[in-house]
Chains A and B, each alone.
Chain A
Amino acid sequence: MSDHDHDSDSPAQRAEALESLLAEKGLLDPGVVDGIVERYERDIGPMRGAQIVARAWTDPDYRRRLLTDGTGAVGEMGFEGAQMERLEVKENAPGVHNVVVCTLCSCYPWAVLGLPPTWYKEPAYRSRIVREPRRVLTEMGLVLDDEVEIKVWDSSAEIRYMVLPERPNGTEGASEEELAAMVGRDAMIGVAKVSAPA
């Protein structure tokens, strides 16, 4: 992989070396690592956020709680997880579009969206979405009218953000479960909208 002669070990070898040393020192139980990885690969992901969005679309009281106390409203659903000291949910509306970034590293509401996609962590997205959000969103396939105000929320260790997208037209009769199935991760980051199935 890497063929620098000053640093011949690959990141994979270094990670393995770290794990074996930490286990030897009694600092780590490798079984615990397996469990954590499995949890993030299988159980924690944007389906949780989608359920929250669908609940907010169908239950006005829940929506109010979600917008005033995101952390509490997520806890009500039984979703807990690391990296969620405080969650703020930002609501899209006809004239306002919200989008989330972490300019310094990769802060992201793990407990409701899982781990961030690669593009979210890349320098291009992190720097450009702040400078030229409309252009970046257009490049990502989301074209907003010029009148729509775009608000960019910069996540930090203290506050994580999630977007509450607009409920698509034509979904009045849909159940909460059907609605949840329409909500994609990207809409909850704010780089896409939710559309009703054709």
Chain B
Amino acid sequence: MSERIAEADLPIEGPAAPPRSNGELVFEEPWQSRLFGLTLALQEQGVFAWKDFQTELIAAIAEWESRADHQEEYRYYECWQRAFEKMLRDRDLCTAQELDQRSHQLAARPHGHDHDHEH
């Protein structure tokens, strides 16, 4: 649709580029869709209200934006993840320690293991 673009801050290519078609993937990586699904599932089950999650998400995004050095690229779903983890911690549903531990266990698996969710 628009082939002409921009000098300024909007990137020309890559996932953050302005739209040129409607064919954009909803999720860039599979973990993002799992995280999204997890969050919605808990909300649908009434574990928390969407508004509460949204408040945490806004805070996580604001926190990223307030950091002085924007060396790292903005990653929306990493903000989402921080918000989700904080909500679970605040409700005593999942502590930071058990999450770190589980995550490191998963990281320690031999390279090339299958990423299927076997549970």
- Indicate if the CB atoms of A32 and B17 lie closer than 8 Å: no
Q: Is the CB of B50 within 8 A of A104?
A: no
Give the complex CA separation of A29 and B3 in angstroms. 45
- Contact at A105–B54, with CB atoms within 8 Å? yes
A184 within 8 A of B: yes
Contacts of B28 in A (CB 8 A): 118
| Contacting residues, chain B, for A142 (C-beta < 8 A) | 2
B1→A192 contact, CB < 8 A: yes
Most chain A CB within a 10 A radius of its CB, from B1, B18, B51, B76: B18
A144 within 8 A of B: no
Contact of A22 among B2, B17, B42 (CB under 8 A): B42
CB contact under 8 A between A21 and B18, given known A15-B34, A82-B50: no
Given contacts A12-B31, A20-B102, A118-B15, is CB(A105)–CB(B57) below 8 Å?
yes
Across the interface, do A139 and B31 meet the contact criterion of CB distance under 8 Å?
A: no
Interface residues of A in 154-198 (CB under 8 A from B): 157, 184-186, 191-192
Q: Mostly helix, strand, loop or mixed at chain B's interface? A: helix
Q: Indicate which residue in A18, A106, A139 contacts B18 across the interface (CB closer than 8 Å).
A: A139
B33 and A128: CB pair below 8 A?
Answer: no
A103 to B67, CA, bound (A): 17
User: Cα distance A114–B33 when bound, in Å?
Assistant: 13
**Interfacial chain A residues near B37, Cβ < 8 Å:** 32-34, 36-37
Q: Which residue of A lies closest to B2 (CB)?
A: A141
Q: Is the CB of A21 within 8 A of B117?
A: no
Q: Which A residue sits closest to B100, measured CB to CB?
A: A9
Please report A residues at the B interface, Cβ cutoff 8 Å: 8-23, 25, 27-30, 32-34, 36-37, 40-41, 46, 82-83, 104-107, 114-115, 117-119, 121-125, 128, 135-136, 139-142, 157, 184-186, 191-192
Q: Shortest 7 CB-CB distances between A and B: which pairs?
A: A141-B2, A33-B37, A12-B31, A139-B6, A17-B102, A17-B103, A15-B31
